[in-house]
Amino acid sequence: MPHYKYEIRQSNGALATGMIEAASLPAASTMLRTAGHYVLNLSPMGVLGGRNLAQKIATLSFQFGPGLRDVQGFTSQLSIMIKAGINIRSAIEGIGDQVENRKFRAMITQIRHDVEAGKPFSDALARFPRTFGSMYVNMVRASEMSGNFGEMLERIADYQTQQMETRSMVRGAMIYPCVIAFMAVSVTIFLLTFVLPKFVTLFSGKEHLLPRPTKMLLAMSSFMRAYWYLCIAGASGAIWGFLYFIRTDSGKVWWDTTKLRIPIFKRMFRALYITRSLHTMGELVNAGVPMLDTISITADVSGNILYANMWRTVYRAVKQGKKISHPLTRERLLPRNVVQMISAGEESGQLAQVLRDVSVHYSKELRNIIKGVTALIEPLMIVLMGFIVGFIAMSIILPIFKMSSLVK
């Protein structure tokens, strides 16, 4: 018979580990529970190496694991199967057989083993915090206590779907200016390194006749052709340095502050952070998650360190017995009318519904802002690109006209 490695809490509270021989995993779990033990972990020997392997899988998932779309698909399918009356072990096993991502399949297999061993589904998910975040785990845990497991999974899947749509819209708005900027830089480099050098012989000996912009471009062209490797190294170093800087504590503060000050994009980012924060908080409150846990999770998923600090300030105030709206009245990151609606929701006991309504409003506003930003960026980037190309072209043409007039 197969052997299973177990980790148990004995009746006296002491932890113990060992190996047990049984016909199947459920049989091994039954034997341990019959003996009066609480099963913490139980896994087949040689299949999944228990807690250590689970931790390794969780670590690898950061680099190679599933994305939000994979988790949303898993959650949506699990919700449908649970609501159809299929037990959770069979549902997880059926979904795991269809998962293409190997890391995610290994996670699902480990989750199934944990559930078979008697662990709550939320505890099994908590093994993989990078894949199933604190919001996911807490909402599942709340549903396990309230008994609306299938409905809660459906709500989590809907929440993840909206997050994917919002992320896609924001990325789409940011990709367009990046593409135009890349094209502008590429055209500029092409003109300076391939087109402008062909006029060097024409201007040779007549440098005193050249206007200052032409002299500047010729010097830049000469430098780029002679020291191209330094240009590439400098550009790569600047990009790497910027990415490294915005990952530091001071860099995060600067970058998140800058995103809320950029003239064209600040309204978009503000609507994004408000929508994400209030939607998350509304879902957690409606799910029955404790308020302190709700505020802590909201701070973690807000996406901006300034908003995260704001919600941590709210956390400390609520921990002291104050209302959510009390510290928000001193903050400038949320509009005054939003704070007033949160206060009204607290007074009426309809906080979850108020948060959901406000998040829906800002979600619609975010879509309209993104459309407006995209429509505004397109002509601006075209004008910028035309200015750069036109400046280089005029810097070449004007000296030719000047020399032609002198010859006449």
Task: Give the pLDDT confidence of 248-295 residue by residue, as tens digits.
Answer: 989 999 999 999 998 878 888 998 899 888 888 888 888 888 889 889
The predicted pLDDT at position 59 comes to 46
CA-to-CA distance for 79 and 150, rounded, in angstroms? 5
**Backbone conformation region of residue 211, classed left if phi is above 0, alpha if psi is from -120 to 50, else beta:** beta
In whole angstroms, what is the distance from residue 231 CA to residue 233 CA? 5
The residues facing 9 across adjacent strands are 15, 38
CA distance linking residue 364 with residue 104, whole number of Å: 33
User: What region does 318 belong to: left with phi over 0, alpha with psi -120 to 50, or beta?
Assistant: alpha
Q: For residue 316, what pLDDT is reported? A: 92
Q: What is the residue extent of each domain of the chain?
A: 166-408
Place of tokens 């062209």: 221
DSSP H or E segment with residue 50? helix 50-64
50, pLDDT greater than 50: no
What is the band of 405 on the pLDDT scale with cuts at 50, 70, 90?
low
Q: What is the DSSP letter of 37?
A: P
Q: 191: which DSSP letter?
A: I
Return the top range by mean pLDDT from 154-168, 280-294, 305-319: 305-319
Per the CB < 8 A criterion, the answer to whether 270 and 302 are in contact is: no
**Cross-strand pairs, 16:** 8
DSSP one-letter code for 303: S
Mean pLDDT of the region 70-99: 87
Residue 253 and residue 305 in contact, taking contact as beta carbons nearer than 8 Å:
yes
> Which of 31, 101, 33 lies closest to 67 in space, CA to CA?
101
pTM of the complete model? 0.71
227-236 pLDDT, tens per residue?
889 989 998 9
